[in-house]
Structure 1
Amino acid sequence: MSSSPKLLAVDLDGTLLDAHGNPHPRDAEALRALVEQGTHVSIVTGRLYSGTRASVLSLGLSGPIGCVDGSHLVSAATHTTLMHHAIQGDHAQMLRAIFARTSPATFVFARDAIVYDETGDPFLGYVATWSSDVQKSTRIVEHAVWAEREGLTAVVAIGSAEQISTAASSIQEELRDIAQVAMFPIRRILGSWGLIVRAVGGNKGSALEWIAEHHGIPLSDTVCIGDWLNDVPMFEKAGRSFAMGQAPDEVKAAATDILHETSEDGGGVARVVEEVFGVRV
């Protein structure tokens, strides 16, 4: 990495934000100071832009922001789409049919909102952190959102291990070249599994690459901070990467540096801003 890093990309949940979705004050202050000195700062998150916008405004950001793990890039200055990887048309209908027959609680991410039905009520506190616009419908698999002209940014499903495994296998078989799917145990909801499906072509690494190119910055001059498996593609692209203290071992193994600070108490972002960029708050 060069001696003059020029771009910092920060994850939100588990990194800048605490368990309640609030930014750690010292970390936010450090990022604002970095922006004021002219360094490019971006957010690269799993959230929709509607769930990211408050942080964008609070930090005074103006450049591209990576949302939904790199599936949606948005201008912080104009709040408009710069790039969108979406599942559309017949492929969206194939996805709808898979969730109709496997019957997990299903949350559809489209039009910068999340649409769900009553089967998702027990999990709403978990999923709603991704967006400030959450809309309840009568029956999600019959909702018109599956035919949305701009397509689906993502679909999240939560259920038993069997439901989620069956749905993931069907997606991989029927939409192999169209969709990417990841399944995972949900730490906050004992015994539940989740999956997220998005269009191929986007991840946090591709988002960082896009943002760096937009600013005319080589990837070797970029720094990123994250805490979870979806941050690994970003770690693999950045010149220097920092894993939060509570990150799983496989995430720490992918980073160039490991912070001892955790999202519970904060301070990890401020440490990076001070040690790497020389800005103290």
Structure 2
Amino acid sequence: MDKKNKIYITDLDHTFLRTDQSISDFSAKVWNELSKDSILSVATARSFQKTHDFLNKLHLHAPMILLDGTMVVTPEKKLIDLKLINKELGDAVIAEGAKFGIYPFIISLKDMELNESFNVPTTLNLYQKGVLNNYAGDPRLRVHEQIRAEEMNLKIVYFGQLDTLKPLTEHLQKTFSDALEYKLSPEKYSDGWFLTVLHPEGDKAHALKKVAEYLGRDTQEMTVFGDSINDIGMFKLAGTSVAVSNALDEVKEVADIILSHSNDEDAVAKYLHKTTQHK
């Protein structure tokens, strides 16, 4: 890989994607032009298939960080890194969550072809029902009367109110300590919150290191973009971290640059366009 090629890695939701989850023609044009002599990729909570669908009009040649960092994979489905929660630990998390009257969504791998299973319980709160509205007809969806972990679990996700999820987070941290990673964040598509439980090395920071190793580069050579809690780790590792104007305050506090535009104003593309103009 040419050492002169600059590296840009962006979050998708509320960062590169607009709120309606679209990519503007301007953003696509800027990305594709810059990709001719730079390395561009994504770091997202989204799955391989969802990411592939979103980015179908973009030129993408570098490894992608997916599912909060649990998976690093090339666009051609070459797996670079995978961090899973085993079934025993996953079932233990579910049992502890049940004490709080809440059951999670579980995103798992069905096979090493990276086919996913999106497992949901029949006992749902209003926030979970709202999230599921976006997954009507999704072929990955599996509904379980008694939800259990699978053999290869990528992430366990709880949606609900802060007054439920904050004590649950504290309880899980006390119970499982550093055997897991816990990220509690506001849900920007609603007024709820979500708690993502991951393998302790299944976050964007660890994944960014894997991408750097694969490219034969250093994370200090990278520019990253984001808006939410799960971006903070990679912000601290990258040479340049850039927050969109709609980013959470916690993210802006650790960002090197805070953009004056939001995701709905093509903030990342406008920054990249300036980079193109000043090469």
Which residues of 2 match residues 222-241 of structure 1 at below 5 A? 222-241=222-241
Give the distance between the partners of 2:93 and 2:193, measured in 1 at CA.
18
Letter in 1 for 2:182: V
Residues 109-163 of structure 1 deviation map (CA, whole Å, 9 limit, x = unaligned): 1123321134347435536769965414142xx345x1x33x2111111234343
Give the distance between the partners of 1:183 and 1:34, measured in 2 at CA.
34
What secondary structure does 2:271 align onto?
A: helix
Q: CA deviation at 1:105?
A: 4.5
The CA RMSD over aligned residues, in Å, is 2.6
Change (3 A) 1:82 1:109: same
Q: For 1:103, which of 84, 101, 104 is the aligned residue? A: 101
Change (3 A) 1:50 1:121: farther
Which residues of 2 match residues 52-67 of structure 1 at below 5 A? 52-67=51-66
Once the two structures are overlaid, the 10-residue window that deviates more, 86-95 or 158-167, is 158-167
What secondary structure does 2:245 align onto?
A: coil
Letter in 2 for 1:126: V
Residues 228-255 of structure 1 deviation map (CA, whole Å, 9 limit, x = unaligned): 2221211111111211011123212211
Specify the alignment match of 1:15 in structure 2. Answer: 15
What secondary structure does 2:18 align onto?
A: coil
Residues 25-83 of structure 1 deviation map (CA, whole Å, 9 limit, x = unaligned): 21122111122x23111110111222211134321213211012211111212x24321
Change (3 A) 1:10 1:185: closer
Q: Greater relative contact order (Cα 8 A, min sep 6): structure 1 or 2?
A: 1
Specify the alignment match of 2:113 in structure 1. Answer: none
Q: TM-score, normalised by structure 1?
A: 0.85
Change (3 A) 1:109 1:172: same
What secondary structure does 1:57 align onto?
A: coil
Letter in 2 for 1:244: V
Letter in 1 for 2:131: Y
Specify the alignment match of 2:141 in structure 1. Answer: 135
Residue 125 of structure 2 contacts residue 160 of structure 2 at CA under 8 Å; is this kept in 1? no
Change (3 A) 1:71 1:138: closer
Which residues of 2 match residues 79-158 of structure 1 at below 5 A? 79-111=77-109, 112-120=116-124, 122=126, 123-126=128-131, 133-139=139-145, 142-143=146-147, 146=149, 148-149=150-151, 151-158=152-159
Residue 229 of structure 1 contacts residue 251 of structure 1 at CA under 8 Å; is this kept in 2? yes
Letter in 2 for 1:67: L
Give the distance between the partners of 2:50 and 2:273, measured in 1 at CA.
27
Give the distance between the partners of 1:174 and 1:96, measured in 2 at CA.
12
Give the distance between the partners of 2:187 and 2:7, measured in 1 at CA.
32
Give the distance between the partners of 1:209 and 1:278, measured in 2 at CA.
29
Residue 46 of structure 1 contacts residue 67 of structure 1 at CA under 8 Å; is this kept in 2? yes
Change (3 A) 1:129 1:199: farther
Gaps of at least 5 residues in structure 1 are none
1:272 aligns with 2:271: yes
Q: TM-score, normalised by structure 2?
A: 0.85
Gaps of at least 5 residues in structure 2 are 110-115
Give the distance between the partners of 2:218 and 2:162, measured in 1 at CA.
42
Residue 219 of structure 1 contacts residue 238 of structure 1 at CA under 8 Å; is this kept in 2? yes
Q: CA deviation at 1:277?
A: 4.1
Once the two structures are overlaid, the 10-residue window that deviates more, 126-135 or 15-24, is 126-135
What secondary structure does 1:102 align onto?
A: coil
Q: CA deviation at 1:218?
A: 2.2
Letter in 2 for 1:25: D
Change (3 A) 1:58 1:10: same
What secondary structure does 1:236 align onto?
A: helix
1:38 aligns with 2:21: no
Give the distance between the partners of 2:272 and 2:26, measured in 1 at CA.
11
Give the distance between the partners of 1:143 and 1:119, measured in 2 at CA.
9
Letter in 2 for 1:10: T
What secondary structure does 1:137 align onto?
A: strand
Give the distance between the partners of 2:131 and 2:234, measured in 1 at CA.
24
What secondary structure does 2:27 align onto?
A: helix
Q: CA deviation at 1:5?
A: 5.8
Letter in 1 for 2:157: V
Give the distance between the partners of 1:28 and 1:120, measured in 2 at CA.
37
Q: CA deviation at 1:199?
A: 0.8
